[in-house]
Amino acid sequence: MMINQLINNVWNANLELFRSGLVIQTWGNVSGINRAEGIIVIKPSGVPYSELKNDDMVVVDLEGTIVKGNKKPSSDTPTHIELYKAFPEIEGITHTHSMYATIFAQSCREIPCFGTTHADSFLGPIPVTRFLTQDEIEIDYEKNTGLIIIERFGELNYIQTPGVLVAGHASFCWGKSAVDSVNNSIVLENIAQMALFTLQLNPDANELPKYILQKHFLRKHGPNAYYGQKK
């Protein structure tokens, strides 16, 4: 993908995130990567979505050095970089402070899989990280945010679970493109809301049986998936 096309795609993904209602003020960002060129396009820091223009997007390399653009990249850029380095099959990342996902993150509670709506996109609960230590905050807060996400996925499949809650912070999602990561964030927020209401209605609600969970996930994402139309 040419750099200008990636810039346009990531800009549109950021606008789509804003239109989704998942972000207010400047509470979120979307990035995309061109792995062949080793560059990342990301939203500039502190620029309101209502004012965001195509040429505001910032291009950085995998060390965080600005390659193109006249604005500072998102303060979360080091987190995105670490995730791209550790998760080689992802092409886009979305970070939001959407209400319901953030409620679970602040509660340091994973989002249980109570139903098939959840299972259609995530093969199991949405995990939550540990808290960062004081040393990790002081040494490199944003980079270490990425590292504790990677740590949490030590025994998890980042493709089958394309999202995480950072304890006391908020959510990060990823996908096959910038817009795919936005879509996963939209799903995550909705299933977080459903899970919270489920727990309010029935604090002892059972999680979805594993065989139903696997059926719903694999019929959309498995090797013999049959959901949707053939391409």
Strands 171-175, 92-96: parallel, antiparallel or unpaired by DSSP?
antiparallel
Average pLDDT over residues 159-182: 98
Indicate the helix (H) or strand (E) that contains 175: strand 171-175
pTM attached to this predicted model? 0.96
Helix 77-86, helix 134-152: angle, nearest 10: 40
Taking only Cα atoms into account, the Rg of the chain, rounded to an integer number of angstroms, comes to 17
Residues facing 44 on adjacent strands: 73
Domains of the chain by start residue, with CATH: 3-221 (3.40.225.10)
- pLDDT tens track for 59-83: 999 999 999 999 999 999 999 999 9
- DSSP H helices, 111-159, are 116-119, 134-152
- pLDDT tens track for 85-133: 999 999 999 999 999 999 999 999 999 999 999 999 999 999 999 999 9
Strands of 163-165's sheet in order across: 66-68, 58-61, 39-42, 28-34, 92-96, 171-175, 163-165
As a whole-number percent, the residues of the chain with pLDDT over 90 amount to 95
| pLDDT surpasses 90 at 230 | no
pLDDT at 1: 66
Contact call for residues 9 and 32 (beta carbons, < 8 A) = yes
Residues identified as active-site: 120, 227
